[in-house]
Amino acid sequence: MSAPVIGVLAVQGGVREHLRVLERLGATAVEVRRTAHLEGLDGIVLPGGESTTMSTLLTVGGMFEPLRDALAAGLPAFGTCAGLIMLSREVLDTRPDARSLGALDIAVRRNAFGRQVASFETDLDVSGVDDPVHAVFIRAPWVERVGDDVEVLARVTDGPADGAVVAVRQGVVLGISFHPELTEDDRMHRYFLDIVAGTR
Protein backbone atom coordinates (compact mmCIF):
# COMPACT_ATOMS: atom_id res chain seq x y z
CA MET A 1 0.00 0.00 0.00
CA SER A 2 1.31 3.46 -0.85
CA ALA A 3 2.26 5.89 1.89
CA PRO A 4 -0.55 8.23 2.99
CA VAL A 5 -0.14 11.86 1.97
CA ILE A 6 -0.54 13.98 5.09
CA GLY A 7 -0.56 17.76 4.89
CA VAL A 8 0.60 20.00 7.71
CA LEU A 9 -1.06 23.40 7.71
CA ALA A 10 1.90 25.74 7.31
CA VAL A 11 0.51 29.25 7.68
CA GLN A 12 1.83 29.63 11.25
CA GLY A 13 3.00 27.51 14.17
CA GLY A 14 5.04 24.36 14.78
CA VAL A 15 5.12 22.88 11.29
CA ARG A 16 8.56 21.27 10.93
CA GLU A 17 8.26 19.11 14.03
CA HIS A 18 5.06 17.50 12.73
CA LEU A 19 6.58 16.97 9.28
CA ARG A 20 9.53 15.13 10.83
CA VAL A 21 7.35 12.82 12.94
CA LEU A 22 5.05 11.97 10.03
CA GLU A 23 7.97 11.22 7.72
CA ARG A 24 9.60 9.05 10.36
CA LEU A 25 6.36 7.05 10.54
CA GLY A 26 6.38 6.45 6.79
CA ALA A 27 3.87 9.06 5.63
CA THR A 28 4.48 11.46 2.76
CA ALA A 29 4.33 14.77 4.65
CA VAL A 30 3.72 18.01 2.75
CA GLU A 31 3.32 21.65 3.74
CA VAL A 32 -0.11 23.16 3.07
CA ARG A 33 0.16 26.88 2.35
CA ARG A 34 -2.37 27.41 -0.44
CA THR A 35 -5.76 26.02 -1.42
CA ALA A 36 -4.19 23.96 -4.22
CA HIS A 37 -2.16 22.08 -1.61
CA LEU A 38 -5.37 20.52 -0.24
CA GLU A 39 -5.71 18.42 -3.39
CA GLY A 40 -4.73 14.78 -3.02
CA LEU A 41 -4.37 14.77 0.77
CA ASP A 42 -5.32 11.71 2.80
CA GLY A 43 -5.30 13.76 6.01
CA ILE A 44 -4.17 17.07 7.48
CA VAL A 45 -2.48 18.16 10.71
CA LEU A 46 -3.24 21.56 12.22
CA PRO A 47 -0.26 22.36 14.46
CA GLY A 48 0.14 24.39 17.60
CA GLY A 49 0.78 28.11 17.31
CA GLU A 50 -1.53 31.07 17.75
CA SER A 51 -5.12 30.34 16.78
CA THR A 52 -6.25 33.91 16.12
CA THR A 53 -3.26 34.46 13.81
CA MET A 54 -4.04 31.19 12.00
CA SER A 55 -7.64 32.27 11.57
CA THR A 56 -6.60 35.62 10.11
CA LEU A 57 -4.00 34.15 7.75
CA LEU A 58 -6.38 31.44 6.51
CA THR A 59 -9.02 34.09 5.81
CA VAL A 60 -6.67 36.55 4.12
CA GLY A 61 -5.14 33.77 2.03
CA GLY A 62 -8.52 32.52 0.84
CA MET A 63 -7.98 29.14 2.47
CA PHE A 64 -10.53 29.24 5.27
CA GLU A 65 -13.60 28.17 3.31
CA PRO A 66 -11.82 25.53 1.17
CA LEU A 67 -10.30 23.94 4.29
CA ARG A 68 -13.61 24.06 6.14
CA ASP A 69 -15.33 22.47 3.14
CA ALA A 70 -12.67 19.73 2.87
CA LEU A 71 -13.15 18.88 6.55
CA ALA A 72 -16.93 18.85 6.16
CA ALA A 73 -16.49 16.47 3.21
CA GLY A 74 -14.62 14.02 5.41
CA LEU A 75 -10.91 14.90 5.25
CA PRO A 76 -9.30 13.33 8.36
CA ALA A 77 -7.71 15.96 10.60
CA PHE A 78 -5.48 16.07 13.67
CA GLY A 79 -5.27 19.30 15.66
CA THR A 80 -2.75 19.95 18.43
CA CYS A 81 -3.13 22.87 20.87
CA ALA A 82 -4.04 25.81 18.59
CA GLY A 83 -5.01 23.24 15.98
CA LEU A 84 -7.60 21.87 18.42
CA ILE A 85 -8.96 25.40 18.81
CA MET A 86 -9.15 25.84 15.03
CA LEU A 87 -11.08 22.57 14.62
CA SER A 88 -13.67 23.38 17.29
CA ARG A 89 -17.18 24.68 16.80
CA GLU A 90 -17.02 27.24 19.62
CA VAL A 91 -14.03 29.12 21.05
CA LEU A 92 -14.22 30.82 24.44
CA ASP A 93 -11.96 33.74 25.39
CA THR A 94 -11.03 34.72 21.86
CA ARG A 95 -11.22 37.86 19.70
CA PRO A 96 -14.58 38.69 18.10
CA ASP A 97 -13.10 38.40 14.59
CA ALA A 98 -11.52 34.98 15.17
CA ARG A 99 -13.03 32.07 13.25
CA SER A 100 -12.91 28.33 13.73
CA LEU A 101 -13.57 25.48 11.33
CA GLY A 102 -16.33 23.64 13.20
CA ALA A 103 -15.08 20.11 12.50
CA LEU A 104 -15.39 19.08 16.16
CA ASP A 105 -18.64 19.63 18.06
CA ILE A 106 -16.89 21.06 21.09
CA ALA A 107 -16.34 24.32 22.93
CA VAL A 108 -12.74 25.07 23.88
CA ARG A 109 -11.26 27.73 26.14
CA ARG A 110 -8.06 29.36 24.91
CA ASN A 111 -5.12 29.55 27.34
CA ALA A 112 -7.25 27.66 29.85
CA PHE A 113 -4.25 26.40 31.83
CA GLY A 114 -2.69 29.87 31.98
CA ARG A 115 -0.04 31.80 30.12
CA GLN A 116 3.42 30.62 29.06
CA VAL A 117 4.72 30.50 32.64
CA ALA A 118 1.96 28.02 33.50
CA SER A 119 3.16 25.51 30.91
CA PHE A 120 3.63 22.00 32.32
CA GLU A 121 4.18 18.34 31.52
CA THR A 122 2.29 15.31 32.77
CA ASP A 123 1.50 11.69 31.90
CA LEU A 124 -1.97 11.05 30.49
CA ASP A 125 -4.03 7.92 30.12
CA VAL A 126 -5.40 8.13 26.56
CA SER A 127 -8.24 5.84 25.56
CA GLY A 128 -7.04 3.33 22.97
CA VAL A 129 -3.33 3.95 23.66
CA ASP A 130 -1.35 1.47 25.74
CA ASP A 131 0.59 3.02 28.63
CA PRO A 132 0.46 6.70 29.58
CA VAL A 133 1.38 9.39 27.05
CA HIS A 134 3.85 12.05 28.19
CA ALA A 135 2.10 15.33 27.36
CA VAL A 136 3.63 18.80 27.04
CA PHE A 137 1.16 21.66 27.59
CA ILE A 138 2.11 25.19 26.44
CA ARG A 139 -0.51 27.93 26.81
CA ALA A 140 -2.92 25.09 26.25
CA PRO A 141 -6.68 25.07 25.75
CA TRP A 142 -9.07 22.64 27.35
CA VAL A 143 -12.45 21.38 26.20
CA GLU A 144 -15.44 22.68 28.17
CA ARG A 145 -18.29 21.12 26.19
CA VAL A 146 -18.52 18.03 24.01
CA GLY A 147 -21.34 17.10 21.66
CA ASP A 148 -23.13 13.77 21.67
CA ASP A 149 -20.96 12.36 18.86
CA VAL A 150 -17.64 13.36 20.45
CA GLU A 151 -15.56 10.78 22.31
CA VAL A 152 -13.44 12.01 25.22
CA LEU A 153 -10.04 10.30 24.99
CA ALA A 154 -8.14 11.91 27.87
CA ARG A 155 -8.48 14.13 30.91
CA VAL A 156 -5.89 15.73 33.16
CA THR A 157 -5.99 13.90 36.49
CA ASP A 158 -3.96 16.09 38.82
CA GLY A 159 -3.49 19.66 39.95
CA PRO A 160 -6.02 22.50 39.78
CA ALA A 161 -7.24 21.38 36.34
CA ASP A 162 -8.14 17.88 37.54
CA GLY A 163 -10.75 16.43 35.18
CA ALA A 164 -10.17 18.87 32.33
CA VAL A 165 -10.76 17.27 28.90
CA VAL A 166 -7.62 17.46 26.76
CA ALA A 167 -8.14 14.91 23.96
CA VAL A 168 -11.24 14.20 21.86
CA ARG A 169 -12.25 12.42 18.70
CA GLN A 170 -15.25 12.81 16.43
CA GLY A 171 -15.25 10.44 13.49
CA VAL A 172 -12.06 11.04 11.51
CA VAL A 173 -11.15 14.21 13.43
CA LEU A 174 -8.75 14.03 16.39
CA GLY A 175 -7.99 16.99 18.65
CA ILE A 176 -5.62 17.30 21.61
CA SER A 177 -4.51 20.14 23.87
CA PHE A 178 -0.86 19.13 24.05
CA HIS A 179 2.21 18.90 21.81
CA PRO A 180 3.21 15.31 20.94
CA GLU A 181 5.60 16.59 18.28
CA LEU A 182 7.83 17.98 21.05
CA THR A 183 8.50 14.56 22.60
CA GLU A 184 9.93 11.28 21.34
CA ASP A 185 6.52 9.63 21.80
CA ASP A 186 4.87 9.34 18.38
CA ARG A 187 1.81 7.35 19.44
CA MET A 188 -0.68 10.19 18.92
CA HIS A 189 0.58 10.61 15.35
CA ARG A 190 0.30 6.84 14.92
CA TYR A 191 -3.25 7.07 16.26
CA PHE A 192 -4.05 9.65 13.58
CA LEU A 193 -2.43 7.62 10.81
CA ASP A 194 -4.57 4.65 11.91
CA ILE A 195 -7.65 6.86 11.56
CA VAL A 196 -6.52 7.84 8.06
CA ALA A 197 -5.97 4.17 7.18
CA GLY A 198 -9.40 3.26 8.53
CA THR A 199 -7.98 0.82 11.06
CA ARG A 200 -8.98 2.72 14.22
State which residues form the domain around 54.
5-197
Say whether 50 counts as a known binding-site residue. yes
Look up the pTM and report it. Answer: 0.95
- Is 139 known to sit in a ligand binding site? yes
CATH number at residue 127: 3.40.50.880
Question: For 4-13, 113-122, 183-192, which range has the lowest pLDDT when averaged over its residues?
Answer: 113-122
Strand partners, 155: 165
Torsion from C-alpha of 46, 51, 57, 58, nearest 10 degrees = 50
121-137 pLDDT, tens digit each: 899 999 999 999 999 99
| Stretch among 41-50, 111-120, 163-172, 174-183 having the lowest mean pLDDT | 111-120
Using a 10 angstrom Cβ sphere, with 0-12 exposed, 13-18 middle and 19 or more buried, the burial of residue 146 is middle
Whether residue 68 is annotated as binding a ligand: the answer is no
What average pLDDT does this structure show over 128-152?
95
Structural domain total, the chain: 1
Give the residue numbers annotated as catalytic, written as ranges: 81, 179, 181
